[in-house]
Chain A
Amino acid sequence: MQAKTTMDHADLIPDLPLEVRVHGRGGQGGVTCAKLIAGLFSQLGLHVQTFGDYGSERAGAPVQAYARIDRAPIRNANKVYRPGHLLVLDEALLGPHILEGVEPGALLLLNTPQPLAHFAGRFDRYRFAVLDATAIAREHGIGSASVVIINTTILGAYARILGLPLKVLDEAYAHLGLASDLPAAEAAFATVEIAEPRETAPAAPTPHAAPPPVMPILQHRADTPASLKTGNWSSQIPAYVESPAPCNHACPAGNDVVGFVQALAKGDSAKAAALLFETQPLPSVCGRVCPAPCMNACNRAAFDGAVNIRSLERLVGDSATATPTREDVLHPQHIAVVGGGPAGLSAAYQLARAGHLATIYEAGPQLGGVLATGIPAFRLPPEMLQRDLERILALGIKARLSTPIRKADLATLTKDHDGVVVAVGFGASKSLGIAGENLGNVEQGLAFLARVKEMPEILSGTVIVVGGGNTAIDCARTALRCGADKVKLVYRRAKKDMPAIAEEIAEAEREGVMVMAHRQPIAIHERGALADVVLAEMEAGPADASGRRRPVVTARTATLTASKILLALGQGNEHDLLPAGWSLRGARAYHGEQALPVYFAGDCAEGEGTVTHAIGSGRKAAAAILTRTHAVVLAKDVALPVAPGQIRFDAFPVAAPHADRLIHPAAFAGDFSETNLGLADAAEASRCFSCGHCTLCDTCLISCPEGVIAQRGGHYRVDPEYCKGCGMCVAECPRAGIEMQEKRV
C-alpha cells in the first residue's frame, strides 16, 4: 500500500465543520496558536478561517482566538460560541466561563504541569487532554526568559489528539516554517495524556441571557471602580523573603550581623544588643579581636568599603546595659564544661540561657583562655574581657578555676553530669625544629605575651618575631612596648598572605615593626647574650594538597643579630584526654559503640583558631548536648548568601566607611593602653545594605506600576487580585529582599 499523502489525512478529521476556541494570554501566542491550527488543517486541504478576538487588553491579559475548519468554503464571520475543540494555554485561565458553549464530548486540551489524574471528575464530560507544554517549550528554549511561547509545542499534542501521524506533523511544520520548533512539538506529541469522555449525559443548555440594560451617558456620574482582576494575568507573584546576608553567612559564631547592624541603624541599640546576645557572649572581645569574616564578605566591600561591623559590635558590647536572661526549665540538666576559653564560655552561656546548670572546669587561674593570657592589653583591655565574663557568669554559671581535668576525671565528670562539653583549646605551641631553638633568648610568643601581661618586662636591641598570625603581630607590638629598639617580623610567605587582621598589620607597621616577608629562620647561633639568626629567602614551591604553593627554602641567606626571638607559629591540637576505650566521631565521644553525652568544641575540635569560631562551636556543642543532635543551623548551612550582583548599588550614595579612632603614641615603651578607640557612634550602621533583609525602604511600593503594594504593620503586602507579576519591585529592591515565586494554581 502506498504511503498516504498529507491531503489524504483530511478524512481522519471527524465532525466537520469544526470550530476551535483558544484561550491564551496577550503577547503569549494565543492568536498565533489558532493560526497554526488553521495552518495545519489548511495543509490537509481543508477550508479554514482564523482570527483573534481583538479587545483592548494588553500583555498578559486573557485573550481568545478562533479557528473554523470545513470541507466547504466557510460562511460565518462571527466569533466561535460553540467550540468543538477548546484549547486552554494556561491553567490559571480555567475560570467559571471557560466552558461556555462547550458541548459534552468536545475536546478540551489543557496546558498544565499536573497529570491527568489531578483533574479526576472535573472534566469527565469532555474528551480531556493535558500536557506540560510550558516545560517542554522552556526546555527547547522557545520564547524569552519571562514569556515562554508554547503554541508550536501544543500543536504537536493537538495533532496527536486528532490522530494525525507524526509524519504529517513533520510536513506541516516544514510547510509552516516551524521546523526549528518541531522537536518540542514531537515531545508534546509523545507526552500528551488523553482521556475519553466518561459521562454522556449532556449538560443543561445555558439559556441565552438578555444583555444587561445600559446606563445612558447622561446618567454616568457615579464612581464605578473597575472590576477586572488583573491578578490572573501572571503565574508569578512577588514574595518578601529573607535571604542570608553575606555577613551572617560568614560569621562562624552565627551572629545575626545584619540584624544587629540594622537595629543600630534604626537607633535601637537595645534590640541590637539583644540580637547579639542570642549568639554572642563576648561582644566586647569580638568587637576588638575578631578577624571579622563578616567584613570580608560584606557586599559593600565591592562598592565603597565594607561596613565596619567589628567596631559596631564593640560599640554594642561596650555600651550594652541589659543582660541576657535565663529561661526557666522544669528539669534543668547539669553540664560540665571543660575549659574556660571562648568555646567553653559560649557553651556554658548557651546552656545557662536555656535554663540549665553549667560548671566550667578551668585549668588556669582565670577564665578567658587565650583571651586573658594571649592578647595584649593595648588590644583587649582586661576590664573589657572582665565585663563580658561578668555578664556570662551573671547567668549563674559556676567556674572551678585551677582545676585541670585529666583522662580519669573526664570519665567521672561524664558519670556525674548529664553531659560534658570539652573545650580545652589548642595544644602546645609549634616550634621551628632548627638548631639553636632552645637558646635562652628564644621564646614561644604566647608564653611571652602571658608573662608580659602579668608583669611588663624590659627589652632592648632588636627583637625578631617569627610568624604571620595575630599572635606574631601581638608579640611584635608588645616587644615595642617593652622597649625593643627594633622589631622585625619574619614571615615565610608574602605579606598579603599573613593571616593576621589586616588593620593590625598596618598598625604594627605604623608603630615601627618591620615586616620581612619571604624569610624563614634556618638556624640560630649563640652570640653572647645575643643570638644570630640565619634567615633564608623563600620562594613559592609546588602546590600542596590545599592548592596553596608551599614556600621552599632557597640558598640565599642573611644573618640578623637579635636580643630576643619570639616564635608565633601556631599551636597543635593534639590532646590526650580520651580515657581508654573512648573515641571521637565528629565532635562526639563514644565508648566503644555507645554514644556518650560528651561533645568537643572549639579549637580542640575544629582547630580554626579564632574566637568567633570557638564561640560558634561552643554554641553548637551546647545545642548538641541538649538535643543530642546538631540543632544549630547557621545561615551558611541554609542557602547561598546574597551576592554583590543582587544588590542595586546605585540605590546607595557612595560613603566611605567610618574608620576606627586610632591613637598613635609617640613612644610605646611601657604604654599598654588601648590604641584603638573604635567608633564614636553608630552612624556607620546606616551604611549597611541590609542584604536580603527588607528595611521597609518603600522602593518596591514607589516603583510598583499598579500601586498594589501596601505597607501595614511593619511589612508589605502585595494584592494578589491585581498584581500583574511584572517583577518591577523585585528588580528595583536595592537589597534582594523580594523574589518572584510561582503561584499555586
Chain B
Amino acid sequence: MNDVCNTAAIFRQGNTNCGGCGMSITLQMLRRAVGANPVHLVIPACCGAVAGGTFPQSTYGVPTIMSTFASAAAVASGLASVASLNGEGTRVIVLAGDGGTFDIGFATLSAAAERNEDILFLCYDNEIYGNTGGQRSSATPQGAVTSNTLEGKLEQKKDILAVMAAHRIPYAASVSLAHAEDTQKKFAHAVAQKGFRFLHVLSPCPTGWKSEPALGLELVRLAVRSGLWPVYEIFDGKRYTVSIEPDFSDEALGLYLSLQRRFQKSGLTAADLRPAIERNWQSLRALSGRIIPGKRESREG
C-alpha cells in the first residue's frame, strides 16, 4: 500500500458526495488498483453522475461519460469496442449504483455480460435509490425502511452475484471495503482481466441508511463478520472461492442493525435474519466445495 499517493486520483476533491460515502471510498480504492492503466469511466444517472461536478469541471480524474440510467453497460460496450478495434489498452469501467445494476440497468448489464464485453462493471450497492432520496430497489434488504416502504421492505434482496455467475463471466466478486487488502486484490485482478468482470461492493450510505458517516466501514465489517455480506469470488461462473470467513456473530449482526435507523422501525432482529444467512452460506459452501470453512485460496493457484 505504499504507492497510495503515486497515481492520479480517479475521484477528485471538490465532489459533492456526502461525507462518509461508500462510493467515494470505492473510487479511492479503485485508483490504487488502476495505477497507470488508461481508463474510460461510464456512469449512469446516479449519485456518481451528480458527484461529477458542474460543467466544465470534472471531479473524475479520468475521461468519463455520463450515460442514461439504463445504458451504462451498452455505452461501455461501445467504448470498449473502440478501444479493442484500435488496440488501445484502455480499461472501460462502469460505476453504477444498485438501481443502475439490479433494476433499470439490469437488461443492459445482462446482455453485455452475455456478450462478454471487455468491461469492468463496478456496482456500488447502497441498497437504495440514493440520488432520488432513498427509495427501495431490488437490492434493498428485507426489513429496511425506505422513503417508499415505510414499514420496511417485504421482499428479499436480489442475489445479483448468482445472476452474474449464471452468465459464466470470467470474474465476479463481492467486495468488502472494510477489508482493504482483499478489495485491492480483487480490484487489481478485475482491472487486469479481459472480458466481463463484475464487482459488487456493499457501499455504506449514511444518508440513506440513517447511520453515522464515520461508521460506514465498521458497518461493512459487521455485515461481513455476521455472514450477512458474504465476500467471495466466482471464476467463469463455476469456481467459487470464499475470500473472508465470517464468524457468524449474532452480536455483530445485532450491532449492524442497531447502528442503522433504516432497520429500527421494522424491528428486525439478528434472529430474523439468521435462517436466511445460514441458507445462503450452505449453498455457498456447496458451491465453493468446502463444507468446512477454509483459508482463502490464491487465485493464481
Contacts and interface: CB of A to CB of B under 8 A. Distances in A.
Q: Do chains A and B touch in the complex (CB under 8 A)?
A: yes
Interface of A: 26-27, 56-61, 144-146, 215, 220, 222-230, 233-234, 650, 698-699, 701-708, 710-711, 719, 721-722, 724-728, 730-732
Interface centre among A57, A226, A731 (most CB of B within 10 A): A226
B16 A728 contact: no
B298 interface: no
Contacts of A215: 56
A146 B213 contact: yes
Contact of A225 (B12, B18, B28): B12
A724 B12 contact: no
Interface string B13-34: 1111111111011001101000
Given A145-B212, A698-B1, A60 B13 contact: no
A59 B51 CA distance: 12
A90 to B, nearest CB: 15
Contacts of A722: 13-14
Contacts of B29: 702
Nearest to B130: A58
B196 interface: no
Contacts, number: 136
B13 A727 contact: no
Contact of B4 (A234, A698, A731): A698
B14 A228 contact: yes
Contact of B28 (A60, A224, A704): A704
A61 B15 CA distance: 10
A728 B216 contact: yes
B141 interface: no
A224 B58 contact: yes
A146 to B, nearest CB: 6
B180 interface: yes
Contacts of A57: 16
Nearest to A228: B14
Contacts of A230: 13-16
A58 B28 contact: no
A60 B58 contact: no
A727 B213 contact: yes
A100 B270 CA distance: 53
B12 A727 contact: no
A220 B55 contact: yes
A711 B1 CA distance: 12
Contacts of A227: 14, 57
Nearest to B212: A146
A705 B218 contact: no
B31 A707 contact: yes
Contacts of B218: 731-732
B19 A60 contact: yes
B1 A225 contact: no
B100 interface: no
B270 to A, nearest CB: 18
Contact of B20 (A61, A226, A711, A726): A726
B136 interface: no
A59 B18 CA distance: 5
B28 A726 contact: no
B135 interface: no
The range of chain B's interface size is 35 or more
Given A145-B212, A705-B17, A728-B216, A59 B207 contact: yes
B277 to A, nearest CB: 19
A705 B225 CA distance: 22
B57 A705 contact: no
Contacts of B18: 26-27, 58-60, 724, 726
Given A731-B214, A731-B217, A27 B207 contact: yes
B9 interface: yes
Nearest to A697: B1
Contact of A706 (B24, B207, B225): B24
A226 B19 contact: no
A732 B212 CA distance: 13
Contacts of B4: 698, 701-702, 711
B214 A226 contact: no
Contacts of A224: 56-58
Contact of A226 (B14, B207, B212): B14
Contacts of A226: 12-15, 53-54, 57-59
Given A226-B54, A705-B17, A707-B13, 6 more contacts: A59-B19, A701-B4, A704-B25, A707-B9, A727-B213, A728-B25
B12 A703 contact: no
A728 B178 CA distance: 11
B21 A705 contact: yes
22 contacts: A57-B16, A59-B18, A59-B206, A59-B207, A146-B213, A227-B14, A228-B14, A228-B57, A229-B14, A230-B14, A698-B1, A703-B180, A704-B28, A706-B19, A706-B28, A719-B13, A722-B14, A724-B20, A726-B20, A726-B213, A727-B212, A728-B216
A707 B28 contact: yes
Given A27-B207, A225-B14, A705-B20, A711 B5 contact: yes
B107 interface: no
B41 to A, nearest CB: 14
A211 to B, nearest CB: 13
Given A226-B12, A228-B53, A229-B14, A724 B58 contact: no
A210 B58 CA distance: 24
A229 B53 CA distance: 12
Contact of A707 (B11, B19, B177, B206): B11
A3 B28 CA distance: 63
B160 interface: no
A730 B17 contact: no
Contacts of A731: 214-215, 217-218
B213 A728 contact: yes
A711 B53 CA distance: 27
Given A230-B16, A711-B5, A705 B24 contact: yes
Contacts of A225: 12-14, 57-59
Nearest to A740: B214
Contacts of B206: 59, 726
A724 B206 CA distance: 13
A702 B56 contact: no
